[in-house]
Amino acid sequence: MTKAAPIGEAQLLSTLASEIPDDAGKIGVAVSGGGDSLALLLLAARHGRAAGLHVEAITVDHGLRAGAAQEAERVARLCLELAVPHAIRRWSRPEGPGNLQAQARIARYDLISGWAVERGVTHVLLGHTADDQAETFLMRLGRRAGVDGLARMSGRFAHGGAVFLRPLLDATRADLRRFLQERGVEWCDDPSNEDPRFDRVRARRALAALADLGLDAAALTAVAAHMATARDALEQVTCDAAHEIVVQEHGDLLIRRDRFREIPPEIARRLCQAALRWVGGASYPPRFRPLSEVIRVLGSGGSISLAGCLVRSGPGNFARVMREFDAVRHMVVSAGSLWDGRWNIDGPPVPGTTIRPLGEEGVRQLPDEATNLRPRQALLADPGLWRDDQLIAAPLAGYGTGFEARLVGDRARFLSTLASH
């Protein structure tokens, strides 16, 4: 089996440059102190000087092991030598149970995106490599993942108001360490990378054992790329189906049941999954079994709650996917703030007001004609403008002169969201 040729500095720089959009403003680099992210930092700094781009860096200290703070300071010193502004953000793990690695990963992206917004950084670079892709592929294969799970990592995604890029997915860990060694730059190895309790470590060791069969990082990343092509085709078919059978009504989605029953099962699954995530705002799709129940309800009738959504099907031809009241019951923000991650209420300023769901009390305060505009279950979870216990406005129910509820960002239009994926 032929191994992939090593990638040198010129190709690394060329690849990096090709992945950064022409309209990029400030560029951020997420740097842990490990070999991959340090190489990315040096490459980004060099490209920034050549292209006239402002580059900044951030390190997240999760506080989970001894030496993490010192490693962050080492990164800060290197950034000083490179004339790259650097910030350190520290995470305090919340009390209680939970998947520590998952919590740390979400917190890392939250902290980085918050920093990016504060600093006006338009794109944040991540140091994921072909090895990371191959390890992820192998772990997901072990979990019997489908096309989406086995597809190549996205080279671009949004989180918390920031755009993240993975420009080094075609480079290997060895390529980046060779680049650092040629410059005499030392990196820190995280001890957890040798701890066999973690799936990724076991996957890394399995890859080494499988290399003689040709199942190396290059081979698995190539398969992941093929899966990404298949995923993109399925997403296009799903988008086409949505244009035919889905109607957006404010923040709800109405689905034609007769046409839904006619589409292939995989397209039905994807459409259902996308609808639940758009209405409920979940970061990850629901699992297969409960999702299958939602698909059954959409086709056969009934109601079911899942992923912060209430799905009601029948007695007519349209099923409705709406926000579930229990999921937003305790959401309260000051007037003018984003509510439920997707709603703004625009209108004249009213002192001392907050935005929270209508609930039973809000529905009782609506005039009879307003309660006829939307199903009661949808009204309960609609945003309302409140002053203490007085409902000032419920724009989705047509109540409150001069007020408008507006979906914002990538949650504004369901069909546009599908088409952009």
Report the phi/psi class of residue 161: left, alpha or beta, with left for phi > 0 and alpha for psi in -120 to 50.
left
Angle separating helix axes 265-280 and 217-245, nearest 10 degrees: 80
According to the annotation, is 36 in a ligand binding site?
Answer: yes
- 26 φ, ψ (degrees, to nearest 5): -75, 140
Token reading at 50: 């050549």
Q: What is the dihedral of CA 41, 44, 49, 54, to 10 degrees?
A: -90
Q: Is 346 labelled as part of a ligand binding site?
A: no
Positive or negative CA dihedral for 193, 199, 202, 206?
negative
Which residue is associated with the tokens 């996917």? Answer: 321
Residue 298 CB neighbour total at 10 angstroms? 26
E strands, 314-393, are 318-323, 333-334, 343-346, 354-357, 383-387, 390-393
DSSP E strands in 20-155: the ranges are: 26-30, 55-61, 86-90, 121-125
Judge whether 34 is annotated as a binding position.
Answer: yes
Task: Report the Cα 416 to chain-centroid distance in Å.
Answer: 17
Any bridge partners for residue 311, and if so which?
304, 321
Instruction: Tell whether residue 175 is among the known ligand binding residues.
Output: no
**Dist. CA 256–CA 247, nearest whole Å:** 8
| Nearest-angstrom CA–CA distance, 154 and 168 | 12
Cβ contacts of 375 within 8 Å, gap of 6 or more: 312, 320, 322
Is residue 316 marked as binding?
no
Q: If you ran DSSP here, which 8-state letter would residue 265 be given?
A: H
Q: Is 280 marked as a binding-site residue?
A: no
Sign for the CA dihedral angle at 236, 240, 241, 246 comes to positive
Whether the CB-CB separation of 340 and 383 falls below 8 Å is answered with yes
Which residues belong to the annotated binding site for ATP? 32-37
- Provide the annotated binding site: 32-37
